[in-house]
Structure formats: C-alpha cells, structure tokens
Structure 1
Amino acid sequence: MKKTLPQFALLTLSLAVLTACGTAPSAGPEAAMAAPAASKTAAAAPKLIVFLVVDGLPMRQVLSYRDQLQPDGFKRFLERGAWFANAHYGHGHTVTAAGHATMLTGAYPERTGIISNEWRDAKSFEQVYNTGDTAYQYIEHRTEPLAGTSPRNLRAETVGDVLRSVQPESKVIAVSGKDRGAILPAGHKGTAYMYMSEDGQFASSTYYMPSHPQWVKAFNAAKPADAFFGKTWAPLLPEAAYARSVPDSQPWQSNAGNGNKLPAVLGAKMDGPGPRFYGNILPSPYGDELTLAFARAAIEGEQLGADAKTDILSVSLSSHDYVNHAFGPESRLSHDHFLHLDRYLQGFFKYLDEKVGAGNYVAVLTADHGFADTPAWAKSQGRDAELLNPALLQATVNEGLVKKFGEGRWVVGFSAAGVLFDHKQIAARGLQPAEVYAEAKRLMLQVNGVLAVFTPDQLLSRDESTPYLKAMRKAWHPEVSAPVQFVIKPNWLFSSRPGGSSHGTPHAYDTHVPILAWGPQWVGRGEVTQAVEVVDIAPSLAQMLHVKAPAQAQGKPLPWPQAVK
C-alpha cells in the first residue's frame, strides 16, 4: 500500500498555470527500429538531461488520450521524439520506490535492495522505510518517524553518481512531491528536494547540506502554494470529450480530500491555508504545477545546463498517482488530470527551449509503475475483480499451518510481496524452514485471488519458464525480502480498503509504462516497437554522457531510432 509522507512542496516564483494553445490532430508516428547510429554515439554530451517521471502513469493512458493532447506536451515525444510502444518493468512488485530505484541505476530490486515503499525486517519484523535514515533530518521541518531522509538503503549507484565521480562539477538535482521520488533518482551524490505537506514548502535533508541555498529560501519565503487556496480544479474540455472515461462521484471513488467530483475547490470549507490544505494540493493538478515551478527555480538557482559540464535534473511528478489511487485510471478525474499535466509539460518545454536552448538538452519521460482499474469498475465490466484481504489470507494460512505443525503464530505478516514467518518457532519445533514454506505455498494456492506462490528454492533457481517466477525473482532481494513471494490474480487488489485502485503486480497493466525521449540529435525520432525495459534507460543515458554504466546495471542501451542531425 502507498504511504503518504510529509514531503510535498510548493511552487516557485511565478505560479502561472502552464497552459498552451488548442489541440492539434495527432499525426501518425514514424516507425523505426534501427540500432543507434555511430554519429549519435559520438555526439557531444548534452548540457542538461531532464529526467521526468509521472508517478503512476500507465502507457495506455498516454495513447488513449492522444487525440486530445496539446501540440507540444506529450506530442513533442510522440511526434517529434523517440518513443517505445512496448516498454515494461521486469520486476514483479511494481511500486513507487522500487520503480524510482530502478530507473537511473538500471538495476532491479534484487540488486538495489529497494523492494517496496516500506517493508518489514525479516528477523525483527520492524518496519523499514525505503529512504528512512534516522541519522538525518529535514531542514527546518519536522521529521516524522520513518520519513525519507537519505539514500542509505539504496545498494546501487545511479547514472548521476557515475557522472559526478568523473566530473564533480556536474550537478545532479532531484525534485518530487514524494521523498522517494526525489531521493532515489538523486542517488548517493546528487541533491534531493521534496514537498512538505505541513507548510507547502520544498525541503532537503541534512544528508545533503546543513542549510538550504538562498534560491530555495527565496522560493519558500514567497509561499507560492498559498496561491492555490480557493482555486478551482475544473474540467479542461467539454463534457462530451470525457465520454471514454468513467463519470465522477462513483461509489468506489474516494470522497476525501478535494472530493470526487469536478469542479472541485481547493481549500473549500477551510479558513485558510494549513496542513490539510497543503496535503490536498497533491491529489490535484496543482501538485504537479508546484513541482515544475520548483524545478524551474532549481534551474535558475543552480544554473543547470549553463556550461559544458552536463547536469542532470530529475523531476518526479507525484499527483497522477494520488489521483489514480483515489479514483482509478478509468475515471474522468484521472483523464482530466492527465490533460492538465500535458499542458504543464508544454509550458515547461517552452521554458527549457528558451532558458537552456532547444538543441542543448535531452528530455526523457517514464513512470514508476502503471495502474489497475478499480476492482468495482472492472467487475461491472464483467471482469473477475475483487479485493484479497491480507488479514483473511494470513488467518487462513496460519490456521492450516497449525493443523499441520501445531499451535503457534507461524505467519507473522506480509512484507512487500512476501510472507514473513516466525523462524524462532520453526527452529523450536525442530522443523526445516523449507517444510513450512512448502505447506504455506500449498495453503495459499487454495485461496481465491492467489495466482502463484514461490519459495526461496524457486527464487534462487535458474527456472526461466514458470510464469511470473522471473519477475518475482527480480523483485526479491535475499537479504531484505520475505522468503515466500506471491502474485495475486489479474484485476484483483491485495487490500482490505474499499474504493480506489492500486498497483504492485507483474501484470501488464502495472508493468507497461511510457519511455519517451526528445533531443533529436541524441535519441532520434519515431516509434520503436521492439520490447525494452526501464532498466535500459540508465545505460542509455550513460552512453549519451560518455561514462560507464552504473556498476549494478542490468539493462542495455535502448535501440534509439536514427539520429536527426
């Protein structure tokens, strides 16, 4: 399950909504699958790499609304850039932290150690947060237990780490509405800034610096988030344009926060800006607007892309994930949020063209995971879709293990996509763990909603043919993960919470994400239908920067279309 953390931030100096002009009809993409051209490999590195992440954006949404896109938002990638129609995550537990750790390391969770957003220590059963580190605190902000403050748990280097090792003058800045969305792409040698929902500011942690630079202080002092108090999130298009989406106010859509119907007024029934209002900015288009505004402030304040030493700016836009969790990707609210995001990107690209120069930077966009449709909606469409209650599954397995091995709490709980066992009890009964794992697997497979279960012997094997095993192996770190891993049925959610939707499986709706790029002299132009994976991004960027790929990288350079000179 997703954890909402107190790290979300505000807008920069100018808070103008990044809008652009009318919709243009979509032209057919150019198909190309050529290997990288020699001239592209030899091209000088760009001055700036802009790495964009849209949290929780399945590729199907990018293409479903293509006819309603602005001329120079997502269409910049689809019509004048390179894009991969068949890009997937290779690991099976598809969640925010695991995805953000994979993107710029080029490594699966089996190597990064970031197996989920949070997990439990397999021996002590204590909670672990992916970027938690009590040795550091947020600068000038309250630091809650388990808050994300450093990349200590990330066991792999990023492209930015490699770049700064050979070229320390290069800057690597990461910005996000979530701590994990900033800290993990920033790696060990970059700098991360995240949104603080207590006051609408962006903050870093003492892992990176003792105090904020002046440009951050100026941004926060302007209180740009306050400008959204009383602002209305209204549909961008006429009602008929949303006929392909599920209408608002469905019983399975969350009615908390800003409500589940457009138009919605931010701060409605509140006296003024406060923590609840600042938190409600995130599940609206304005969370992304704030994040991009801070990204512009970072470009100005750090002079990114201003000299010959390549810089990296990672911007993880968190709002789409919150919207999809609350309302489902099939909803009109998600549809409209995507269209807002398209306009924001158009404005951001215009700014980059003017500030950095259109021929001086590369933009790459991906997502940390896809999304399932809400089970209630899927069920109404005739699909087998339900909730698998974790407490019920645990009780069922424990009951069966008691019958087999005697009284005791054999299953302690769940950690990421795995099952935790009381190994002290197993040893005290003189049992081998493998015996208990095998029986637990048998019992779990009898529960409706469980599709596959894998024991450590299977996860450590070289079996490449058993369905889902390879994906779950890549999601399993033997020192971090629970011993037994499982997969739920398609369209089901492992949750007891009614309403909304989620992700976290090896099914295509969760693994199929965009990989879009623009920077014609480096990435070429056209659609690529060849299957690729998100782990391929890091070695591709390393090649572009003329540095070695990150040490733990498991991907290979992307098959860019022919470079455009």
Structure 2
Amino acid sequence: MVANAQIKRPKLVVGVVVDQMRWDYLYYYYNEYGNDGLKRLLDEGYSCQNTMIPYIPTVTAIGHSSIYTGSVPAMTGILGNNFFIKGKEVYCCQDDDVKSVGSDSKEGQMSPHRLLASTIGDELKLATNFKSKVIGVALKDRASILPAGHSADAAYWWDTSAGHFVSSTFYMKELPKWVTDFNKQNSTKPGFDIKTSDQGVTMTFKMAEAAIENEKLGQGSTTDMLAVSVSSTDAIGHAYSTRGKENHDVYLQLDKDIAQFFNYLDATVGKGNFLLFLSADHGGSHNPNFMRSHRLPAGGFEGWNVAKSVNETLQKQFKTTARLILGENSLRIFLDHESIEKAGLKLDEVKAAAKKEFEKDDNVAFVVDYDNVAAQSISQPIRERIINGYSRERGGDLLLITNPGWIDASNDANYKGTTHGLWNPDDSHIPLIFMGWNIKHGETSKPTSMTDIAPTICSMLHIQMPNACVGNSIFE
C-alpha cells in the first residue's frame, strides 16, 4: 500500500442546467453553433441521448432539485414551483424566517428549507469534512438554491426589483465584497426583467466566472462545486415558444457564452481538471397554434378555467356555496379539504364527482385519483411518473392527463407562447452530456433518467449518493 495515497478527484465539479432546453435544440440549431460551445460538448463529451424525466409534472423547481438529489418529488418534498401544504399555497423556496441580503425586497427571502433531501453538494461537503466549497448561481432563486443544497457556502440569484444579485441570511449576513463590486459593475435598472433577454444568459456566466475567480473554486486541495442555471431560455420560451427569432437568438447567445465559459475553465482550473455536466430541468411543448397551422393535433387546455367550471358544477350538485376546488397547478387538482368538511360533505364523494366531471372533457385522456393510482387503467410508464410525482401532504387529489398536444396554456388563436409540465417527450426528453475529467467521448441511446445524474457524479467522486437518491450511475 502506498503511504499518503489519496482518492483521485477533479478540482471542480460544474453543473450547468439550461432551463426549458429541449433535447433536440442540440441539433435544431447545430449548423449555427460555433466549435467551442455546444459542439465542443458533443465532440468531447459523453452524450446520453435518451434521458427522460421520471415524474409528473415537469417544472423548474422539481427539475433542479431532482437533478442534484437524484430523486423524485415524492421524496424531495419539492412538488412544484408552487404547491399547497395543508390548504395553503406556498412557493418552493419562500422562507419568511430569513431576510434578503443585498436588497430590502422579499425576493431575497428564500432558502432550501422545503427541500427534504440532500444534494450532490451536501454529500461532497460531508465527504471532505466540509472543506469543499459549494456555490449556486442563477437568475431564478429556485434554480440557484435547490441545486446548491442545504450546506452550500452561498447561493446567488437576481433580484429584479433591485437590478442585481442577492442572497439571504440563510447563507450569510452580508454580501462578500466581490459580489458588491460585481453588482456595481453589472446592475440593471430596477424593475427590468433581465430573464426575458439574451443579456440574462451572459450575466449568469459572468457571475459564475466571478464566483470561480473570487472564491478560488477548483484551486484548493479539495474538490469544489459550482451549480449554474440559465434562466433566460425559459422566460423567452414561455413568451415566444420553441420557434422564431427570439428562441433562435437566445440559444446562439448560450452557445457563445458557454464557449467563453469553457475557455475560462480551461485557463483557470485547467483542461481535464474539471468535471462538467449539462442538462435541463424540463423541455417545452410547441405552441398549439403553430402545431395546428401544420395540421398537427394540439390545443390549449386552460386547466385553470376547466377547474373553475367544474367547481361551479360541483357547488350546484352538492347544493353549497363552499369552495370545493382549492386550485389547479400543472393540471393537478387540489380539493379544499377544510371547506368540504365544514360544508358537511364527504371528501371521497366530492372527489368522485369531480373525477366524473373532468372525464367529460374530450381532451382529457385520464383523470387520476392519486389515492388509487394502481387500480386505474393507465399505461405503466405514465403510472410510474404519476406515483413519483406525488406526495400525500403536498401533492393534490386528482391529476389530469390530457391528449397528446394539449398543453395547460391559453387556447386563444393569438397565443404565441408555450409552457411545460406534461409527461410527453416534448417536456420530458432532456439533454445530458458529461465532459472533462475522466470522461471519454461517446454517446448512448440506452434509456437513462434525470435521477441518474447525481449518482453518476457521486460515483465518479467516490462519495455517497444523496440520501433520497433513486437513480443509478450511468458509467460502469
């Protein structure tokens, strides 16, 4: 045995999550990409071409938490961007017990306190006796906080009301001087939503590089981790959909900025010294009007209006003015348990009646009773995703599975945007590419899962996988 032998690990682990990046964007704009960005990833990295999201709904907060925990909403407690706990709607990262650091607004009152599981970064901290540094950077708070985890040294996100990056007292009492200096040089007019512009992509990577430089990430004796998420791609996709100039421009900007980022990593950490993965928190559906213009079946389902109509029908049926449906979120139906009880009604009877009403809609394929999923005639792959996405305390009562092409969006003929959240490949088929330290070039079309990312990274680092991990390492 060699004395003083050490476990071989990279100097820095970098996770890059591109919000709402469909898998096929790797190839749809391929001919216009430069050689040093996304093409470099494909040319040097190992690409998992058949990576799917194993739960419903496919939304931002869940995707980011699942990538870094290797788990599913049923175990992480992150059931969506917003969800209900005991009849009260909550935001996934909102924490009234902390204060904003860097501004006076509520946009900084955030923490990972609703995340029930550990992350890659948490396990890296444990493995190195908390000597490793772990930092999250994104424009969206949830895209920075949830990947960084509980023990992170810092998470930074963009406060639109202030026009610069902030954090919260969960992590620190005041911003480091380098962040204050960065904000002075890179702020925008308060109220300007940088997420809706290509500028947001560039700003994210500038902040990521500043974090590496000033925190000396990847330049110490232990492995550090940086979690980066690109939020502008999602905001622009929601506004302009999957086609057109706006989406084209933001992905070409991403390609340029990620090429610059790779070059920066080569120069500071050293080529071959960092382990990087790129993936997405979810994809995005094509605009239903665009689809119909090409004779493809599609439509805007408007789940919120459908739920409102069913609530009114149920009130007449049960002869009550009580609110019976609390809300709709990502086609999940939350019944108002408290109002139902106060009205002297039985929850099971109201739920059964609601299920029948939703089933009358021609664009609904299944209405799922979360308490009885196993007994319902639903295709097995979809059934598994339903179960993975459900939590008794936070997950709702019913789930609507719409026909292919029918998305939870406006059905207005002038609607130009899009959304995501469904089980279908448009929303659940995501890119996954590993590059850098100990990664050999190649690709696989074998089925892989979003939840395989965390155990793969942890296996390569020879550290324990996160404590709610359900995925498996991709590499032998």
TM-score interval, normalised by the smaller of the two chains: over 0.9
Instruction: Read off the aligned partner of 1:157 and give its amino acid letter.
Output: S
On the 8 A contact 2:12/2:275 being kept in 1, the answer is yes
Equivalent residue pairs, number: 465
Match of 1:531 in 2: 447
Match of 2:232 in 1: 319
Which one of 5, 14, 17 corresponds to residue 53 of structure 1? Answer: 17
Query: C-alpha distance in 2, partners of 1:148/1:386?
Result: 37
Which one of 440, 451, 465 corresponds to residue 354 of structure 2? Answer: 440
Correspondence 1:168-207 to 2 at 5 A = 168-190=130-152, 191-207=154-170
Shift, 1:307, TM fit: 2.0
Instruction: Read off the aligned partner of 1:153 and give its amino acid letter.
Output: R
Match of 2:371 in 1: 457
On the 8 A contact 1:416/1:481 being kept in 2, the answer is no
Correspondence 1:541-556 to 2 at 5 A = 541-556=457-472
Match of 1:422 in 2: 336
- Partner deviation per Cα, 1:385-418 (whole Å, 9 max, x = no partner): 2222234312432344345433343223224432
Instruction: Read off the aligned partner of 1:544 and give its amino acid letter.
Output: M
Query: C-alpha distance in 2, partners of 1:422/1:178?
Result: 30
Distance 1:354 1:467, change over 3 A: closer
Which one of 116, 131, 136 corresponds to residue 155 of structure 1? Answer: 116
On the 8 A contact 1:95/1:504 being kept in 2, the answer is yes
Instruction: Read off the aligned partner of 1:158 and give its amino acid letter.
Output: T
Shift, 1:447, TM fit: 1.3
Query: C-alpha distance in 2, partners of 1:179/1:344?
Result: 21
Query: C-alpha distance in 1, partners of 2:304/2:342?
Result: 25
Match of 1:328 in 2: 241
- TM-score by length of structure 2 reads 0.92
Query: C-alpha distance in 2, partners of 1:531/1:491?
Result: 23
Shift, 1:148, TM fit: 5.2
Match of 2:63 in 1: 99
Correspondence 1:50-129 to 2 at 5 A = 50-121=14-85, 123-124=86-87, 126-129=88-91
User: Equivalent residue of 2:69, what SS?
Assistant: coil
Match of 2:300 in 1: 387
Match of 1:289 in 2: 202
Distance 1:171 1:391, change over 3 A: closer
Distance 1:425 1:50, change over 3 A: closer
Correspondence 1:269-418 to 2 at 5 A = 274-276=189-191, 278-279=192-193, 281-402=194-315, 404-408=317-321, 409-418=323-332
- Greater mean alpha carbon deviation, residues 104-113 or residues 494-503: 494-503
Shift, 1:345, TM fit: 0.8
Shift, 1:493, TM fit: 2.6
Question: Unaligned 5+ residue runs, structure 2?
Answer: 1-5
Distance 1:215 1:424, change over 3 A: closer
Query: C-alpha distance in 1, partners of 2:36/2:338?
Result: 59
Query: C-alpha distance in 1, partners of 2:317/2:347?
Result: 14
Query: C-alpha distance in 2, partners of 1:459/1:105?
Result: 25
- Partner deviation per Cα, 1:503-534 (whole Å, 9 max, x = no partner): 11111100011001101x52321111111011
Correspondence 1:225-264 to 2 at 5 A = 225=187
On the 8 A contact 1:110/1:473 being kept in 2, the answer is yes
User: Equivalent residue of 1:194, what SS?
Assistant: strand
Correspondence 1:447-526 to 2 at 5 A = 447-459=361-373, 465-466=379-380, 468-496=382-410, 498-519=415-436, 521-526=437-442
Question: Unaligned 5+ residue runs, structure 1?
Answer: 1-41, 227-273, 561-565
- Greater mean alpha carbon deviation, residues 445-454 or residues 487-496: 487-496
On the 8 A contact 2:314/2:353 being kept in 1, the answer is yes
On the 8 A contact 2:48/2:443 being kept in 1, the answer is yes
Distance 1:80 1:411, change over 3 A: same
- Partner deviation per Cα, 1:49-83 (whole Å, 9 max, x = no partner): 01101111000111212222211101122111100
On the 8 A contact 2:50/2:448 being kept in 1, the answer is yes
Instruction: Read off the aligned partner of 1:193 and give its amino acid letter.
Output: Y
User: Equivalent residue of 1:382, what SS?
Assistant: coil
Match of 1:130 in 2: 92
User: Equivalent residue of 1:485, what SS?
Assistant: strand
User: Equivalent residue of 1:202, what SS?
Assistant: strand
User: Equivalent residue of 1:522, what SS?
Assistant: coil
Match of 1:214 in 2: 177
On the 8 A contact 1:411/1:420 being kept in 2, the answer is yes
Shift, 1:452, TM fit: 1.8
1:143 aligns with 2:105: yes
Query: C-alpha distance in 1, partners of 2:262/2:15?
Result: 12
Query: C-alpha distance in 2, partners of 1:44/1:463?
Result: 50
What percent of counterpart residues are identical?
A: 34
Distance 1:428 1:528, change over 3 A: same
Instruction: Read off the aligned partner of 2:468 and give its amino acid letter.
Output: Q
Shift, 1:155, TM fit: 0.7
Query: C-alpha distance in 2, partners of 1:203/1:431?
Result: 47
Query: C-alpha distance in 2, partners of 1:437/1:131?
Result: 30
Shift, 1:425, TM fit: 4.6
Query: C-alpha distance in 2, partners of 1:464/1:554?
Result: 23
Query: C-alpha distance in 1, partners of 2:318/2:75?
Result: 35
Shift, 1:419, TM fit: 1.2
Query: C-alpha distance in 2, partners of 1:515/1:74?
Result: 12
Shift, 1:499, TM fit: 3.3
On the 8 A contact 1:43/1:522 being kept in 2, the answer is no
On the 8 A contact 1:415/1:481 being kept in 2, the answer is no
Distance 1:299 1:461, change over 3 A: farther
On the 8 A contact 2:22/2:427 being kept in 1, the answer is yes
On the 8 A contact 2:303/2:331 being kept in 1, the answer is no
Query: C-alpha distance in 2, partners of 1:424/1:550?
Result: 36
User: Equivalent residue of 1:275, what SS?
Assistant: coil
User: Equivalent residue of 2:168, what SS?
Assistant: coil
On the 8 A contact 1:225/1:290 being kept in 2, the answer is no
- Greater mean alpha carbon deviation, residues 60-69 or residues 86-95: 60-69
Query: C-alpha distance in 2, partners of 1:534/1:481?
Result: 20
